[in-house]
Amino acid sequence: MRDRIIMPSTMEDKRDRRNLITAFKHFNLPVDTDSEQSFKRYSTRVTEGHDKKLGKKLYQRFKRLIENRKFRRWRKPRWVPTAKSKIFRIPERKVFPKEELIELKRLHDRYNTMMRAVRRHLTEEIQRTSDTSELAMKKAADEELEHQRLMEYNQQENLRVASQREERIRKEFEADLARVEATKEKQAKITLQAQDEAIRLIAETQELVKTFIKREDLEDAIETALANPADYNFAIDEEGYIFRGRNTKPEDVAVEDREKLASVELY
């Protein structure tokens, strides 16, 4: 047999092996070396008299190849013909004892019988549980009855939910009507209050208009104002009496005629 060949597992391993083979051929060393010790010895021979770093580097690469290698048994390619030494070789027919042949036949017949029984059983089981079997027809009838029952229940449930929905819609409609009526009443009250306020303002304005001075009475009003000037000055004493006028003195006003502040508190 030929020696086993190192099979690189990665592209880097393939490149390292190719470089190693090139180095071996350069120094006339055998290429089919598979041992780490022999390769260490060869790397020493390669680097003898040369750079020692090269030998160390070759050894480390070969060690990594050894760790990652895969072995494959050598076989002859299929396109290679039969060897000349085996062209006329006739293999000998094996001779079995008669008792062993009888026992093998018995076991074979027993196996066939058991397998035939199993196949028949499975066939009957498939026919019994198929869509056209009695059991399947009964199951289909039961499913149809169950479907009808569920459909009736669904119809009743739909009617019940529809009645509840109609009742809810009616109540919501009544609530909306009540809300609209309340809104109308509130708006009517607001409108009425606004009208009353407008009427009051109009009445006050009409009363105020009566005090206005007409154009033809303007000169008389000016003469009257000049003849009777209004004095808005006033004084308050310690007791809370009011003396109106710039030149009014306390002794000029009688005690019973004096005006007193209603909310004066003397401390």
- Could you read off the pLDDT of 66-93 as tens digits, one per residue? 555 555 667 888 888 888 888 888 888 8
* pLDDT-wise least confident of 48-52, 237-241, 258-262: 48-52
Q: Report the alpha-carbon distance of residue 263 to residue 195 in Å, rounded.
A: 38
H-state helical runs in the chain: 11-26, 36-47, 52-68, 98-129, 134-210, 218-227
User: Which range in 64-78, 144-158, 210-224, 240-254 is most confidently predicted, on average pLDDT?
Assistant: 144-158
Three-state helix/strand/coil letters over 194-223? HHHHHHHHHHHHHHHHHCCCCCCCHHHHHH
Q: Which residue has the tokens 């006028």?
A: 245
- What's the pLDDT at 3? 37
Q: Report the alpha-carbon distance of residue 76 to residue 58 in Å, rounded.
A: 32
- What's the pLDDT at 225? 82
Residues contacting residue 237 through CB under 8 Å, at least 6 positions apart: 243, 250
pLDDT-derived band at 258 (thresholds 50, 70, 90) equals confident
Q: Taking a C-beta distance cutoff of 8 angstroms, is the pair 74, 4 a contact?
A: yes
> Does residue 160 have a pLDDT over 70?
yes
pLDDT-derived band at 56 (thresholds 50, 70, 90) equals low
- What value does the mean pLDDT of the chain take? 78
- What's the pLDDT at 73? 67
pTM of the model: 0.32
**Percent of all residues in the chain with a pLDDT value above 70, rounded to a whole number:** 70
